[in-house]
Chains A and B, each alone.
Chain A
Amino acid sequence: MDPLIPVSYTINGKSVQQQVSVRTTLTDMLRHQMGLTATHAGCEQGSCGACTVVVDGLMVRSCLIFAIQLDGARIETSEGFADDQLMDELRRNFADRNALQCGFCTGGMLVAAHDLLSRTPHPERAEIREKISGNFCRCTGYEAIVDAISKTAQALPLEDSGK
């Protein structure tokens, strides 16, 4: 059994104390210790993007960070957007446009899409593609995902565009 070290975080707005092994990745801490299984463990080597979360306001890959490194950090996972209007719209448009099939990439895709639209509410299609370029989807061929994000953006008010 690995020795355990106490660490504190704010996860989805709540203060959390956890005991972690030094080699526990953020992905595994979220999934196994917190039960937050919307963060998927895909390749576990930083290629696929299924484990995408937001740490201190920046989108990152949770499989490439050890949980012990983030003492005091603010972490947002897909579950943290349960009552978020923008995320609601993204989910609805993903479903309407069949932008998921097996769903394995979807949690990471939604976190990336939300991060994009909260910074750039009216992105070009090329910007959407660039933003999700680090997230693998092996089902949809991406076109439907770009459509769903684009449709969500079109419904956002123009005055917030920041352009």
Chain B
Amino acid sequence: MKPGLFQYVRADDVEKAVSLLQEFGDEAQLLAGGQSLVPAMALRMALPDVLIDISSIAEMRSITLTDDVLRIGAGCRYVDVLRSEDVARAAPMLVQAIPFIAHEAIRNRGTIGGSLAHADPASELPACMLALDAAIVLQSASGARTIAAEDFFLGTYSTALDEGEMIIAVEIPAIAVNQHHRFLEISRRSGDYAISGGAFVLEMDAGIITAARLAFFAVGDCAVLAGSEALLGKPLNAETIDQVAQRVGEEITFYGDLYNGIGAKRQITKTLTRRLLAQFPGMEL
């Protein structure tokens, strides 16, 4: 239960971090909040030769809201995001979602970039990024690129990050007047992994749904959008909700986990969909 030996190097800025990544290649792992990597190292499931500590990079700790784009530095911890007024204003979904992530002591260390790069299929943030239509900003020694969240998550612990690249920020379009965010997960115990979770964004005009992004997590090999089209052009009522829940059950390729089989996951996800949609304006009963 003690980590294997590794070489430790600290990067104080992004430039240094990407040059170290280039130098050490796939022998190196980035250490940000360490709330997933350090347990994996304690179990010796992860045995990196080199740890590049990026937790003190100040330029990745800022949150800004300009021209209706919320930019969150990858090094921001959950607690920073939860306390940010800009986040509360521009992406209320994150304020709803973060309390579901693990426990307070973990949220005081874990980072946004770390969660996205780790890409645990059961984690909340990848689904939020899908629902919010976020862009993920990547940097390597040869330059920067921006990738849509939809193209970033490829599977269990698998992302579109190339060798030598790191996440430096996420960019989220600020919530519009006619948009609404809702987040929910179903789990056995507070703070435990979700059996099924959803992050929904709806756009409504005079009671009719004009755009929808329904993202799910803890259901398959990575966070996934499903059922969104079944809402378009419809009023949000019991009939629509039934149709959408049905579609979600059909569209997602469910994976079982240790405690819940595929059938249970599908059933619970349909229930979650109904409960979440019932929380949107016009449906509060």
* Chain A residues within 8 Å of B, Cβ to Cβ: 2, 5, 21-23, 25, 44-47, 49, 52, 58-61, 63-66, 68-69, 112, 129-131, 133-134
Contact = CB atoms under 8 A, between A and B. Distances in A.
Contacts of B92: none
Nearest to A61: B105
Contact of A134 (B38, B53, B102): B102
B1 A69 contact: no
Contact of A66 (B5, B34, B39, B190): B34
A45 B269 CA distance: 30
B43 A133 contact: no
Interface string B174-206: 000000000000000011000000000000000
Contacts of B108: 58-60
B152 to A, nearest CB: 25
A69 B9 CA distance: 10
A101 to B, nearest CB: 21
Given A58-B108, A66-B38, A134 B8 contact: no
A63 B42 contact: yes
B55 A69 contact: yes
B106 A61 contact: yes
Contact of A45 (B4, B31, B42, B55): B42
Interface string B123-156: 0000000000000000000000000000000000
A51 to B, nearest CB: 9
* Most chain B CB atoms below 10 A, which of A21, A68, A131, A134: A134
B109 interface: yes
Given A64-B38, A130-B190, A133-B191, A2 B106 contact: no
Given A45-B42, A58-B79, A134-B102, A22 B190 contact: no
27 contacts: A22-B5, A22-B6, A22-B8, A22-B51, A23-B3, A23-B4, A23-B6, A44-B42, A45-B39, A45-B42, A45-B43, A46-B35, A47-B39, A58-B79, A60-B105, A60-B108, A61-B109, A64-B35, A65-B34, A69-B55, A112-B105, A133-B190, A133-B191, A134-B103, A134-B104, A134-B105, A134-B106
Contact of B191 (A2, A68, A134): A134
Contacts of B1: 44-45
A52 B34 contact: no
A154 to B, nearest CB: 23
Nearest to A58: B108
Given A22-B8, A23-B4, A44-B1, A64 B43 contact: no
Contacts of A25: 3, 38
A49 to B, nearest CB: 7
A69 B32 CA distance: 10
Interface in B98-129: 102-106, 108-109
Contacts of A2: 5
Contacts of B190: 129-130, 133
Contact of B109 (A5, A47, A60): A60
Contact of B5 (A23, A60, A65): A23
